[in-house]
Amino acid sequence: MKLGSALISQIVFFILFIVLFIFTDYRGKDEISVAVNSFFRADPLVSISYLLATKSFTYLLLPGALMFIFSIVLGRFFCGWICPLGTIIDLVTNKIKKTVPIKFLKTS
């Protein structure tokens, strides 16, 4: 497996995802932790719904807005460079033995 810039980016974001996920546990306080807050700030859907609801922009939602803009401009940017599920799929795909080709995925 070639260790390119996309794979390095995926591994870094996967580790970041795992660390943030571990810190999202409930610790008896009714405050949003930094980890949960980071997930919300980077979520493009939260940014879009906030913009539509308030008709204003706050700099706290800049990561989500940037994620949305990069996805519009670069296509599947999030899936190929950041998404933790995409990382797992990329790492596991070559390990799975394919016995029968899936007919509807073949090109005509």
**SS (HEC) of 69-81:** HHHHHHCCHHHHH
For the record, the structure tokens of 98 come out as 């394919």
The values of phi and psi at residue 102, to 5°, are -80, 120
pTM: 0.59
Per-residue pLDDT of the chain (108 residues; tens, 9 = 90+): 556 787 788 888 888 888 877 777 766 776 666 666 777 777 788 888 888 898 887 888 888 888 888 888 887 777 777 777 777 877 787 777 767 666 666 665
Task: Look at residue 92 in the predicted model and tell me its pLDDT.
Answer: 80
